[in-house]
Structure formats: structure tokens, C-alpha cells
Chains A and B, each alone.
Chain A
Amino acid sequence: MYIAGIGLVFARGRGIDSLGEALCDGWKPPSEQGCACSGKKLNLAYRVEQEVLTGSAVLRKIRRADRFSKMAVLAACDACGDSGISFTGRESSLGIIVATTFGPHATTFRFLDDVLDYNDADVSPTIFSHSVHNAAASYIASVLDCRGPTLTITQFAFPFQHGLLLARAWLDEGRCDHVLVGTVDECGTAMEYICGSKLRIAEDGKIRPFDFSSSPSAVPGEGSVFFLLTRKESHKKYCRISEVSLGGESIAQDRPNICIFGADGMAGDESTYRHAAPPYTTLAGYAPLFGSMMTGDGFHCAAAALMLEKQMRYANPVQDNPHDMNLCTMTEEAHMEDIHCIRIDCLHEKAVVRLKR
């Protein structure tokens, strides 16, 4: 299946070009929130700036939507726009798959505020409606007038990769001609508290993808990235997704031009990344640009798509390399044919997405 368009929203902006700029510009520190007084640590995270989520004509149609849904709608609409494919409305040949790790948890907690502050009969139905995980998909469908199949996935293990697998099955079955597959995850004060308790947060704000530590450091991130996928090669703008493998099924052993590691401190022990790629493969890990997310693989695939389209490779934003691996250290033109995006979860299972020109 082919990538016809990409849209995204993250800490460094909105749109595929903003990812390209971030890849060129390199690492920037995360934002800080909270009060550093009385010994409390500041919460570091790569948060989407509020102004990115205001003012757009698209958002005017969805006034009640929360941040979670707004990020998804912007990214999904931008993916369609980026593709240049004209969707004529009442679109039944477009499917939507949204993958998330934690869903709109900030809204769920706002609803719990109501449950705690008021009696059970006086809670807000609007907040409840938005805490339902498929709200984002519903908004995307409404804004695009998309009448095809829609599905939301919520899980910790490879949500994005499962979304890609299902999209390919839908396209193969002819269930739809195109599928918008994307990810969305958000930050929030309660979730940042949980991350601070359960994860090691990088004090200097730097994710180090090549430490291969058994207790790596993370910096929570948020954002959404959507791909418009199609069966038709004529719609291809970036590259094709040639394989999606889960759980260690073997993938062709030829060495890709670059292996992108999803190591970001979110899934615990990262020691098995050390041997995840064929020896001497050029390695990259761009999580230091957008933060730690179980759905971060979406951003890595977007980076891979850019590299294949532009015939470039991008320097690693953080080049700490204690194991002397072959890291990509320069941003430069390069011949790119085959990129593997690899993520290992907390059970040491591996998922690989293979993108080819």
C-alpha cells in the first residue's frame, strides 16, 4: 500500500513540513510546567502549543472537541489535503483507523472531576461524550463527510502497527479505496504524574535512543500523525509500506539503508534494541524531537517517508553512542530505497514496518 499524504501535529508544529524542519534543525528542549518551588520537580514534556489548536477553519466546525480530538482532526485533514486527492463528499470509499495508547485521558479525568464534585446525576454529558475513545474518529468522519468504515484501537502494544495491518486488509478486501490511518496521544497533568512515577524522566530533557539501557529515560510527548493510504500506485506521493510484521516474524534479512529505532524510554528495558538490526546498519532514532509515546512509531514512519521522498537522511538529534553503533550523524542527500522502523515493547516483542521507495 502507498502513502498518498501525511498530516501531523506535534510539539514542533503542524504539517509534514514542520517535521522536516525539526529533522533538519535537531534537538530542542521540552517545555516545562508546574512550579519548581518547595522542591517539586517541573514536568518536562513535548507538548503541542495551544496556538496550533486554535484558529483553523477546520476547528470551527467542532467547537466542543477536546485537545485529543482536535489534534486528530487537524492531522487527518492535513493528510487528505497533502495527498491532493479530491474527495467529493459522502465519501464511502475512505476508511478511518485511529490508534491510541491512552485515549483522551485528560477528558476522562475532567469527567471524574464532575463525578467527584457533583452528585452522579449532575455530571456533564458533553465531557462524557468526549471521553469515549472513538470521539476523535467520529469528528474526523464528520468533518470529511466520510461514510466508510471507522475503527478506533486502544492498546499499549503496537497500536499503530496493528492499524497498518488492518488498513492493508481493508484495502485488499476492497472494503474501501483509501484508508486514513493515524495515531493520537496526549499529555495531561495526571498522566504526567503517572509517567513521573512509573518511568525514569530524563532530567536534561534528552531521550537517548542508543543507550540500550535496561531502565531508559523518557520525556513524555503528545501529538497526532495520519497517513492517507491507498491501493493505487498513481496516488503515491512518498513511498510504499511493503511489510508490517509483528512479534518477531521474520522479515527479509537484507540490510536497509536506515533502521529507525522506536527506543524512547516508554516501554522499559531497551537492551534488546542492540541486536535488533543487522550488524553495521545505519541507525536513527528521532524520538528526541517529538517525545516518548507508544504511538511514536507513526512519527518515525513519517520521517522515513520524508527520507524516501526527498532522498535524504537526517542526522540523529541526540548522538550519544556508548555502544559504538553506526549512527547517522549528518543531514545530507542520500540514496534511499528501504527503511525499517523497529519498535520493541516491554515483553521484548518486536514490530517492524518496512517502507520502500
Chain B
Amino acid sequence: MDDEKEKKLTEIRKKLKELLVENLSLEDISPEEIKDDEVLFGEGLGLDSLDAVEIVVLLQRGFGVQIKNVKQGKEVFYSIDTLARFVYQNTQG
């Protein structure tokens, strides 16, 4: 079961990285170079508030997952890892 979950999470992380690089015009980095625990905002990838709302839409389009409010967004958007786990939790069952 855990293997299954880990495999799904890996897939989600990969897709997330590709979506981010393509849709946020991240020019100097390829999806493979983004670390799983890379902090998305501030230091790390250096994303900003406009990227945050873009990610909300990418989650809706790419995974059918909604962010309910800004506060929830802040917790979920910490790193690729936290994003992937959120997507996984909201797409099971």
C-alpha cells in the first residue's frame, strides 16, 4: 500500500514540477532540478503572490483540486512535497 502511495506521490511531484516550470515561466531551471523539499515562496524558488494564484488554477485544471481559502493555501504551498501530499489527499476516493 505504501509503495502504491509513494509511486503516486512521485508521479504527482513530477507533474507539479513540470506545470510550475511551464506555466510560471521559470527560465533558469528544469523540472528535474527542483528539489522535493524546495521552499516555493520567498527564499528557494522565489515565487510570489501572482504565482500563488496561478498555482491555485493549475491545481484546479491539472488535478481537479480546489484551494478553499488563502489560509489553506499558505499551508499547502510550502514546498513541492506539501503540495503533492495535498493533491494526493484530495484525489483519493
Contacts and interface: CB of A to CB of B under 8 A. Distances in A.
Does a CB–CB distance below 8 Å link A and B in the complex?
yes
Contacts of B23: 124, 126
B25 A125 contact: no
Interface residues of A, number: 11
B61 A118 contact: yes
B25 A124 contact: no
A123 to B, nearest CB: 7
Interface string A91-134: 00000000000000000000000000010011111100100000
Contact of B25 (A64, A121, A129): A64
A63 to B, nearest CB: 5
A253 to B, nearest CB: 53
Contact of A122 (B24, B25, B60): B60
- What is the interface residue range for chain B against chain A? 10 to 19
B70 interface: no
B50 A122 contact: no
Contacts of A122: 57, 60-61
A60 B24 CA distance: 13
Interface string A47-65: 0000000000000100110
A121 B59 CA distance: 12
B25 A63 contact: yes
Contacts of A60: 27
B50 A64 contact: yes
Interface string B30-50: 000000000000000000001
B27 A125 contact: no
A47 B31 CA distance: 31
Given A118-B61, A121-B60, A126 B27 contact: no
A63 B27 contact: yes
Interface string B1-38: 00000000000000000000001111100000000000
Nearest to A118: B61
B75 interface: no
A126 B57 CA distance: 10
A126 B61 contact: no
B30 to A, nearest CB: 15
A227 B24 CA distance: 32
Given A63-B25, A63-B26, A63-B27, A125 B53 contact: yes
Interface string A145-188: 00000000000000000000000000000000000000000000
Contacts of B26: 63
B47 to A, nearest CB: 11
Given A63-B26, A63-B27, A64-B24, A125 B54 contact: yes
A124 B27 CA distance: 19
A129 B25 CA distance: 14
Contacts of A124: 23, 54, 57
Contacts of B25: 63-64
Given A63-B25, A63-B26, A64-B25, A125 B61 contact: no
Interface of B: 23-27, 50-51, 53-54, 57, 60-61
Closest 6 pairs (CB-CB, A-B): A125-B53, A63-B25, A64-B25, A126-B54, A122-B61, A122-B60
Given A64-B50, A126-B51, 17 more contacts: A60-B27, A63-B24, A63-B25, A63-B26, A63-B27, A64-B25, A121-B60, A122-B57, A122-B60, A122-B61, A124-B23, A125-B50, A125-B53, A125-B57, A126-B23, A126-B24, A126-B54
Interface of A: 60, 63-64, 118, 121-126, 129
6 contacts: A63-B26, A124-B23, A125-B50, A125-B54, A126-B24, A126-B51
